[in-house]
Structure formats: C-alpha cells, structure tokens
Amino acid sequence: MPNLIVLLVRNIRKFPASNWLILFILSLGLLSGWKCAQASTPDTAPTELKNLLTQIDTAASLGNVTKVMQFYSPNFTTGDGLTHANLEKALVGLWQRYPQLKYTTQLKSWKSEGNAIIAETVTNITSSPSPKSNNMALNATITSRQRISGTQIVRQDILTERTQLSSGAKPPQIKINLPQQVRVGQQYNFDAIVTEPLGDDFLLGTALEEPIKPEKYLSPTSVDLELLTTGGLFKVGRAPATPGSQWLSAVIFRGEGVTMVTQRLQVVK
C-alpha cells in the first residue's frame, strides 16, 4: 500500500493551479452614458442597462473577445494591476481552454458619481467538462465594483471571489473556512474540509497562497500534492505586512476525482 501512495503522488503532483483565475475580470457590471438619478437598487435601473448586461453576458458566453473588449477603456485598470492589453491576452487564453463558459450577471446596486457611474454586480460563471479543459467542470461566483465613464469601464475592483474546478466521476465535496478580509500581519485560519465520509479512500492535497499580480493571470502555477492524514486541509496563515489581495487555494484528490477551490482574501490596514 505505501508503494501505491507514492505512485499516486508522483502521477498527479503537478496540478495546474491558475490561468483560469482570470475568470474574475468578467464580472461585468456595464453601464452606458445614460443620465441616471441617484439610485441604489436594481429595481430602479433603466431598462437599457438591464438589456446591456444581457448582451454582454451573451458576448462573453460566446467567447467574443473583440465584442467584449469594446466595453473596456484603453486606460482600463484594476486593483490587481491588469491593463486593457494583458486582459485581452488573458481572455483569449482562457476561452481557448474553456470554450463553453456561460456568464450570468446580476446588478446588485448602482449610483451616479459626478459624470461616472458606480455599479456592483454578482457574476456566476459555469462550464461543463470538455476535452479542451482536461474534463474539468468550473463554477465561479464573483462580486465586483465597476467605475464607468461614457460607455466604457475604466476601473474594476473585485470584492469577493470563489472559483471551483472539479474532475472525475466523484470529485470530493469541499467546505472552505476563510475570512473575506484580514488586517496586515494578522493570523488567520484556512480550512478545506471534505464533507463526505472517506471510507477506505486516501486523500492527497495541498494548500496554496499567492499574491494577486498581473503575471499570475498569464502563466499557470504548478503545485505538489501530499498525502493527507485527516479529512481535509487545516492551515494557519499570516497576512503580509502590506495591503492587497491574496488567492488562497485548496486542491484535494481522492480515488474518483479531484477538486480545487480558490477564494480571494483581502488584506487591509
């Protein structure tokens, strides 16, 4: 049995851990240049805005990069340092790997701010397994805030983010315990708990912490899986000394499947 465990670790120790994380950027909260009164709920949003959200979801679901990028300013920025140029490049790579993504965006709130519009949205992104995605199923939920000037997004900030990849006949069901926000230097717990009985199955897995930088969207990360002696991953981390955002990921493999969950952790002063 120990030899079997070693063989499993060697066979799957390199598991691609990013590239698909660019998903967050299409949490589309697009607004046009309509003259809007102060508002805070989707019910008061113009019909044109609701229609536009539907059109953008459709273009993204079709993988139409040219159409989607028309709604981003050439001076577009994000809190993670992405620009118009590397966003487009990352989206092309993403949609080649996941050609069947489906986007559904809901407007959470909106308001006028001078000549600009501020909108918060919740976007769900899903994909069924396909050969091009290594038979991975994808499910992501992202809450974001956009600043729009005229007909283009000029800035976007991600407020919360959770993405799950799974593969196999029976991928493990994982519950993540992680705060959404911590202070600089603060200690925190990151738990990834398998919620099903394990029976005779062995678990392999690892936890990964990455600072969110533009280059992380453009090149995949590999991780090493280790034998787990408990029903999940239980880690204690410490926030960096400077504010920013981190990706916390858990990868867990059992006999009939593998699951990877990534959540965003905001580090504030």
Report the C-alpha gap between 263 and 233 in whole angstroms: 15
pLDDT computed for residue 268 by the predictor: 94
Asked if 59 and 155 touch (Cβ cutoff 8 Å), the reply is no
pLDDT computed for residue 97 by the predictor: 82
pLDDT computed for residue 46 by the predictor: 66
- Single out the residue of 161, 158, 163 nearest to residue 136, CA to CA: 163
Report the C-alpha gap between 237 and 245 in whole angstroms: 14
Average pLDDT over residues 102-114: 88
Average pLDDT over residues 4-26: 40
Hey, what are 261's tokens?
């969950």
Question: What backbone phi and psi angles, to 5 degrees, belong to 170?
Answer: -145, 75
pLDDT computed for residue 98 by the predictor: 85
pLDDT computed for residue 129 by the predictor: 82
Average pLDDT over residues 186-203: 91
* Vertex 182 angle, CA 269 and 17, to 5°: 115
- pLDDT class for 266, splitting at 50, 70, 90? very high
- pLDDT class for 11, splitting at 50, 70, 90? very low
Is the model's pTM score more than 0.85? no
pLDDT computed for residue 193 by the predictor: 95
- pLDDT class for 112, splitting at 50, 70, 90? confident
- SS3 assignment, position 88: helix
pLDDT computed for residue 5 by the predictor: 33
Average pLDDT over residues 90-104: 87
Count the helices and strands in the chain (H runs, E runs): 5, 15
Average pLDDT over residues 221-238: 87
Query: Which of 37-46, 70-79, 178-187, 229-238 is predicted with the least confidence, judged by mean pLDDT?
Result: 37-46
Q: Which residues of 88-102 are buried (b: 16+ CB within 10 A; e: fewer)?
A: bebbebbbebbeebe
Question: In the CATH hierarchy, which top-level class contains the domain 20-161?
Answer: alpha beta
Residue 152 has pLDDT above 50, yes or no: yes
- Single out the residue of 135, 93, 92, 103 nearest to residue 24, CA to CA: 103
Query: Which of 37-41, 52-56, 109-113, 258-262 is predicted with the least confidence, judged by mean pLDDT?
Result: 37-41
Quote the distance between the C-alpha of residue 52 and its chain's center: 23
Instruction: Give residues with Cβ within 8 angstroms of 107, minimum separation 6.
Output: 29, 42, 45, 49, 50, 53, 119, 120, 121
Q: Which CATH architecture is the domain 164-268 placed in?
A: Single Sheet (2.20)
Sequence spans of domains, the chain: 20-161, 164-268
